[in-house]
Amino acid sequence: MDIAVAIVLLVLIVFVIIVLVRSVRIIPQARAGVVERLGKYQRTLNPGLTLLIPFVDRLLPLLDLREQVVSFPPQPVITEDNLVVSIDTVVYFQVTDARAATYEIANYIQAVEQLTTTTLRNVVGGLNLEEALTSRDQINGQLRGVLDEATGRWGIRVSRVELKAIDPPHSIQDSMEKQMRAERDRRAAILTAEGTKQSAILTAEGQRQSSILKAEGDAKAAILRADGEAQAIQKVFDAIHKGNPDPKLLAYQYLQTLPKIADGSSNKLWIIPSEVGDALKGIGSVLGTGATPEPPPAPAQGVDPLSAPGADRPGSRP
């Protein structure tokens, strides 16, 4: 009898535990649960502690209310110019209504994938390859608008759609690479020509400035030399007049200047001026010899000096 009572008590305890386990549920944050009572939707459970009626209420698998990111495999898409491109897409979506996501669609992730592929083919099919490569923002906006409108009744909100990659055929990639290389070479040639042009302009400008500065320096130097020579001549002139030189000194200086006049290998003919006689007289009086050298005879009036006897003719050597 005691054993039967113990077994009954044990069964009751196990039953109570099972009832408690099935009655008390804890819903984590950012999760939502759908409760069915006798197979019919009863309510949606929010995060926190909740109680269920055992064997009457059934809690379906919890749904994640956080924003989810799904990357779909590459899809072949035909552009307007009949080129097949492979496009990878990434969709950011979030479950906003747990009841609609449970009862309005069987598999919302698969539905979003198929809807994204269909919409992508419709959008890209109206663009050529160049427009598809350069209009990613436009394609993303159109995809998001279509997906958000279609998935709204499923209790899903599509926040962003991104094209991860657009891969054209290999032949087109080679052609595009050659085109880009040619464009880079053209830009490099233009930049080189511009640099050469600027260098030539700067060089010419520098030479012009250098020539101007050199000419200004030469002009100032010539002016300074002229001023110096003028001052030197003025000082010599003033010194000579202050010293009051006599004819003897002037004659002596004149004779010292004659060798400088005759200096030079190209001088073949000397022309002695008539003032030499006066200079010689001054020298004689200075030396005290009393001798008065005779000046050279002056050429006769009307007679060509070169035709006189003993006169040097042009071309003859002295």
The answer as to whether 182 is a domain residue is yes
pLDDT at 281 (0 to 100): 61
pLDDT at 201 (0 to 100): 92
| Tens digit of each residue's pLDDT (9 = 90 or more) over 218-272 | 899 899 888 888 888 888 777 777 766 666 666 666 666 667 666 666 666 655 5
Question: Are residue 59 and residue 76 in the same domain, yes or no?
Answer: no
How many other β-carbons are positioned within 10 Å of the β-carbon of residue 309?
4
Question: Are residue 102 and residue 163 in the same domain, yes or no?
Answer: yes
Q: What is the CATH number of the domain that holds 133?
A: 3.30.479.30
Q: Say if residue 297's pLDDT is above 60.
A: no
Compute CA distances 313 → 176, 267, 298, 306, whole Å: 93, 15, 17, 6
Whole-number CA gyration radius for the chain:
60
The answer as to whether 231 is a domain residue is no
Question: Are residue 78 and residue 158 in the same domain, yes or no?
Answer: yes
- Averaged over 180-209, what is the pLDDT? 88
| Maximum Cα–Cα distance across the chain | 189
Question: Are residue 32 and residue 116 in the same domain, yes or no?
Answer: no
Estimate to the nearest angstrom the gap between the alpha carbon of 203 and the chain centroid. Answer: 23
Contacts of 7-11 with CB under 8 Å at 24 or more apart are none
Question: Are residue 118 and residue 194 in the same domain, yes or no?
Answer: no
Residue from 309, 255, 303 nearest 277 by CA: 255
What is the overall mean pLDDT for the chain?
Answer: 79
Asked whether the whole model's pTM tops 0.85, one would answer no
| Tens digit of each residue's pLDDT (9 = 90 or more) over 53-103 | 888 888 889 999 999 999 888 888 888 888 888 888 899 999 999 999 999
pLDDT at 94 (0 to 100): 92
The answer as to whether 85 is a domain residue is yes
Residue 191 structural domain:
178-219
Tally of structural domains, the chain: 4
* Structure token digits, residue 144: 């998001």
Q: Say if residue 294's pLDDT is above 60.
A: no
Question: Are residue 72 and residue 59 in the same domain, yes or no?
Answer: no
Question: Are residue 119 and residue 157 in the same domain, yes or no?
Answer: yes
pLDDT at 291 (0 to 100): 44
pLDDT band at residue 273 using 50, 70 and 90 as cut-offs: low
Of 54-58, 95-99, 192-196, 304-308, the least confident? 304-308
Of 215-219, 270-274, 288-292, the least confident? 288-292
The answer as to whether 313 is a domain residue is no
Question: Are residue 142 and residue 86 in the same domain, yes or no?
Answer: yes
Tell me the backbone φ, ψ of residue 233, rounded to 5 degrees. -60, -40
User: Can you tell me the distance from the alpha carbon of 225 to that of 13, in angstroms, rounded to the nearest whole number?
Assistant: 130
Question: Are residue 103 and residue 12 in the same domain, yes or no?
Answer: no
The answer as to whether 302 is a domain residue is no
The answer as to whether 36 is a domain residue is yes
Of 87-96, 130-139, 153-162, the least confident? 130-139
Q: Taken in order 297, 303, 307, 309, is the CA torsion positive or negative? A: negative
The answer as to whether 229 is a domain residue is no
pLDDT band at residue 301 using 50, 70 and 90 as cut-offs: very low
The answer as to whether 98 is a domain residue is yes
Angle between helices 136-151 and 108-124 (to 10 degrees): 140
pLDDT at 66 (0 to 100): 92
Question: Are residue 85 and residue 161 in the same domain, yes or no?
Answer: yes
How many other β-carbons are positioned within 10 Å of the β-carbon of residue 102?
22
Question: Are residue 98 and residue 58 in the same domain, yes or no?
Answer: no
Question: Are residue 46 and residue 101 in the same domain, yes or no?
Answer: no
* Structure token digits, residue 278: 């006066």
